[in-house]
A and B are shown apart, each in its own frame.
Chain A
Amino acid sequence: MGLTLTWLAIIVLLPLAGLFLKSFELSFAQFVDIVTSRRTLNALKISFGLAFLAALVNLVMGGIIVWALVRYRFPGRRIFDAIVDVPFALPTAVAGIALTTLFAQNGWLGAPLAELGIKVSFTPLGIFVAMVFIGIPFVVRTVQPVLIDLDPEIEEAAASLGANRWQTVSRVILPSLLPALLTGFALAFARAVGEYGSVIFIAGNLPNVSEIAPLLIVIRLSEFRYADATAIAVVMLVVAFLVIFLVNRMQRWAQLRVPAH
């Protein structure tokens, strides 16, 4: 217990405290000025908004992928299962460059999309694509063990009691998976908010349009405006904490209905 707390304090809390201390170099008015400037607000909006959307997409797609991986036996299943982890392992810069090439106007996917008038690379859509890419394993890997544990007999029980497929999914399967799905969503969201490496290659990084908050922090640092950078970081930290706290509460609520054994 003591060891856990000490360790957590050194690894997590100490750097965060430093962050807050640094931001105190600013007066309150200055702080408000920085964080409410148009560029900062837009960057925060892009980071959190797109991360939320990407996590939402990952929740749905990750749910479908994990269902296929666990419930179906098809050739190459193990390979697909391994591929899910690629976004975990790939250096983010490599992922960013690969996605940029793929979705550039002359890329494999970018070219046909460009014909439809859809630009991905160097737009907010590109940021979204990168965030989906790096977030997918979080949902799959958190839900997978829970789904494996879920006894297929409960579906048969529901069917024999007269439930149709939709009632079985919505009343029996999804509620059992809900805590795991929420955890996966929170992790994918957190990762997408903090993502830097893969996004900056594909984003185009136009201020107010496709500039993410972590990039703005780096820009401020390179301009030696350390206090500005920490002010943005503090806002990110607080918002991220609030969102994750909220998801945690939802998870607790969902888990209360599925007490541990």
Chain B
Amino acid sequence: MSIEVRNIVKKFGDFAALDHVDLTVPHGELMALLGPSGSGKTTLLRIIAGLDWPDSGEVAFDGENALSRAPGERSVGFVFQHYALFRHMTVFENVAFGLRVQPRSVRKDEAAIRARVKELLDLVQLDWLSSRYPSQLSGGQRQRIALARALAIEPRVLLLDEPFGALDAKVRKELRTWLRSLHEEINVTSIFVTHDQEEALEVANSVVVMDKGHIEQIGTPSDVYDNPQTAFVHGFIGESIVLPVEVDDGRVRLGDTPLNIAAERGSSGPSKLFVRRHDMQISPCGWGGLEGTVRRVRTFGPIQRADIVVSGNRGETIIEIDVPRDRELRDGEVVGLQPRRYRIFADRI
């Protein structure tokens, strides 16, 4: 099922959790909503599920208005960060819940319910736990049961709110791979919320980066990593070296020193120069104006990492770069810096 979100606004008091958000999720997508806390990603997910209502805007499933439907009528499977399992029910009854509360006219008979639950427990590879209670399971097992429960109603869309947020690193990694392959198997349109960029880039086939109630960029994982469209995305995804610069009709200055790099033609004003750490290399002085003083060098394993102080008219900036082991650096040495790839974004006013 495809999902369309149009012009959604949601405010909590004066705080705009979502500020005119548009999003289209094609059928069969596995999409990540990625952003820092407070970016509105969970609110957006809850609005799609029907657990929250927007102040204005539209949500459509396959072109049909979904906002007029209660959460139970949207055919949405929702998985909560803290599982929200029914602790007085066995694993089996938890998974069967969605089938048992169906209106009598469409409810399956007991044998069919049992067969379906068995099938789902097999799918999440936990059929041997069916008579246990949630409190007897590990976190990873609970999350898989929560997923099986959500899948029981044969949802047309699966929504997961920080599904691995409460798990330890190892289980997290396992479940990521597992979610990926599960999605390939059942191919239901899925959206998951995460604040962990690695998780988003590794699991999803498209990533929506959000900040402060806005969508900053939508793209494939390699797209948002290699071609960030905004300063926020460049800073949030991957590690970046950031230098405050001045742009004057496409010419870039650091303090009073003109740099031998170009910004977009016609752009002007205070801006920021973004360079991935592995794209910044040491070069002889006088290459293009970008210079710094070596402050501290650390060596571990195959890499040598140096703090370099770069001064501009907005004060000093310390940047951290990787240098090959064979290049000897001394404290206080002045070196040139050459970005192989870089992006310049004008400061938002």
A positions within 8 Å CB-CB of B: 151, 153-154, 156-164, 167, 171-172, 175-176, 178, 257-261
Quick check: B51 and A160 within 8 Å, CB to CB? yes
Residue of B nearest to A150 (CB): B87
Complex-state Cα separation, A178 to B86, whole angstroms? 14
Contact code string B76-111 (vs A, CB < 8 Å = 1, else 0): 111010101111110000000110111000000000
Quick check: A162 and B88 within 8 Å, CB to CB? no
Contact code string B3-47 (vs A, CB < 8 Å = 1, else 0): 000000000000000000000000000000000000000000000
Residue of B nearest to A172 (CB): B86
Partner of B82, one of A151, A162, A172: A151
* 6 additional contacts (CB under 8 A) given A153-B84, A156-B84, A160-B78: A153-B80, A160-B76, A161-B97, A162-B153, A172-B86, A258-B87
B positions within 8 Å CB-CB of A: 49-51, 70-74, 76-78, 80, 82, 84-89, 97-98, 100-102, 133, 135-136, 149-150, 152-153
Given A157-B80, A161-B101, A257 and B49 contact (CB-CB distance below 8 Å): no
Question: Which B residues are in CB contact (< 8 Å) with A258?
Answer: 87-88, 133
Complex-state Cα separation, A260 to B153, whole angstroms? 29
Complex-state Cα separation, A154 to B134, whole angstroms? 13
Question: Which A residues are in CB contact (< 8 Å) with B150?
Answer: 160-161
Question: Which B residues are in CB contact (< 8 Å) with A167?
Answer: 101
Partner of A161, one of B50, B51, B72, B133: B72
Question: Which A residues are in CB contact (< 8 Å) with B102?
Answer: 162
Quick check: A257 and B80 within 8 Å, CB to CB? no
Question: Which A residues are in CB contact (< 8 Å) with B80?
Answer: 153, 156-157
Q: Kindly provide the distance from the CB of B29 to the nearest chain A CB, expressed in whole angstroms.
A: 20
Residue of B nearest to A153 (CB): B84
Q: Kindly provide the distance from the CB of B116 to the nearest chain A CB, expressed in whole angstroms.
A: 13
Residue of B49, B72, B98, B153 with highest tally of chain A CB at under 10 A: B72
Residue of A159, A176, A178, A260 with highest tally of chain B CB at under 10 A: A159
Quick check: B135 and A161 within 8 Å, CB to CB? no
Question: Which A residues are in CB contact (< 8 Å) with B78?
Answer: 156-157, 160
Quick check: B97 and A163 within 8 Å, CB to CB? yes
Complex-state Cα separation, A257 to B51, whole angstroms? 28
Residue of B nearest to A163 (CB): B101
Complex-state Cα separation, A177 to B182, whole angstroms? 36
The 9 sampled A-B contact pairs (Cβ below 8 Å) are A151-B82, A156-B78, A159-B72, A162-B72, A163-B97, A163-B101, A176-B86, A259-B133, A260-B135
Complex-state Cα separation, A153 to B79, whole angstroms? 10
Question: Which B residues are in CB contact (< 8 Å) with A159?
Answer: 51, 70-72
Q: Kindly provide the distance from the CB of B270 to the nearest chain A CB, expressed in whole angstroms.
A: 44
Quick check: B88 and A151 within 8 Å, CB to CB? no
Complex-state Cα separation, A156 to B77, whole angstroms? 11
Q: Kindly provide the distance from the CB of B92 to the nearest chain A CB, expressed in whole angstroms.
A: 13
Quick check: A161 and B98 within 8 Å, CB to CB? yes
Quick check: B88 and A261 within 8 Å, CB to CB? no
Complex-state Cα separation, A224 to B102, whole angstroms? 67
Complex-state Cα separation, A154 to B84, whole angstroms? 5
Partner of B77, one of A160, A164, A261: A160
Given A167-B101, A171-B101, A160 and B50 contact (CB-CB distance below 8 Å): yes
Complex-state Cα separation, A157 to B94, whole angstroms? 11
Residue of A nearest to B101 (CB): A163
Complex-state Cα separation, A142 to B153, whole angstroms? 36
Question: Which B residues are in CB contact (< 8 Å) with A163?
Answer: 72, 97-98, 101
Q: Kindly provide the distance from the CB of A166 to the nearest chain B CB, expressed in whole angstroms.
A: 10
Q: Kindly provide the distance from the CB of A159 to the nearest chain B CB, expressed in whole angstroms.
A: 5
Question: Which B residues are in CB contact (< 8 Å) with A157?
Answer: 78, 80, 84-86, 149
Complex-state Cα separation, A153 to B149, whole angstroms? 14
Q: Kindly provide the distance from the CB of A175 to the nearest chain B CB, expressed in whole angstroms.
A: 5
Residue of B70, B72, B88, B89 with highest tally of chain A CB at under 10 A: B88
Question: Which A residues are in CB contact (< 8 Å) with B88?
Answer: 175-176, 178, 257-258
Quick check: B87 and A162 within 8 Å, CB to CB? no
Given A154-B86, A161-B153, A167-B101, A261 and B70 contact (CB-CB distance below 8 Å): no
